[in-house]
């Protein structure tokens, strides 16, 4: 492997993951929260399909409580004709769109957040 002259190295060459996270916390923290909510909604959707015969299972109740604020916010802006199962899908789409908007707005502001050495 060729070693670059210290003046020609990438700015992230000596960054630890903690340095990268804390230097752009305003991007990484909301991105992490949006990702966690998205995956929780996907988990809720799958668990409700799997436990459709037993809707009072503890794991289903926990996922419902965690994702209830997001689902109720999306339900508020979604027409009443849309069934509740699809509201969860719309919530995943909205959260994914919010993550893309967050990333593009940070890039448009001229900041390139460090995502890893393979970027």
* Domain coverage including residue 53: 19-108
What angle, rounded to 10 degrees, do the helices at 25-50 and 84-108 form?
160
Write the CA distances from 10 to 4, 28, 52, 110, 114, integer angstroms. 9, 20, 52, 17, 11
pLDDT at 21: 64
Overall pTM surpassing 0.85 (yes/no): no
- Quote the pLDDT of residue 119: 55
pLDDT in tens, 17-61: 666 666 778 888 999 999 999 999 999 999 999 998 888 899 999
Length of the chain: 119
Residue 73 lies in a domain: yes
pLDDT band at 15 (very low <50, low <70, confident <90, very high): low
pLDDT, one tens digit per residue, over 54-98 is: 888 999 999 999 999 999 999 999 998 999 889 999 999 999 999
Contact 88, 41 (CB under 8 A): yes
In a domain, 7, yes or no: no
Instruction: Report the domain count for the chain.
Output: 1
Eight-class DSSP state of 8: G
Return the structure tokens found at 119.
């970027």
User: Is the residue at 91 inside a domain?
Assistant: yes
106 has pLDDT over 60: yes
Contact 30, 101 (CB under 8 A): no
């Amino acid at each position: 492997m060729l070693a670059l002259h210290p003046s020609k190295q990438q700015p992230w060459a000596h960054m630890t993951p903690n340095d990268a996270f804390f230097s752009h916390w305003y991007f990484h923290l909301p991105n992490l929260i949006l990702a966690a909510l998205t995956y929780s909604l996907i988990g809720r959707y799958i668990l409700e399909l799997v436990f459709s015969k037993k809707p009072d299972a503890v794991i289903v109740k926990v996922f419902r409580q965690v994702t209830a604020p997001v689902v109720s916010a999306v339900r508020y802006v979604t027409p009443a004709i849309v069934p509740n199962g699809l509201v969860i899908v719309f919530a995943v789409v909205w959260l994914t769109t919010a993550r893309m908007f967050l990333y593009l707005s940070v890039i448009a502001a001229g900041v390139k957040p460090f995502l890893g050495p393979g970027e």
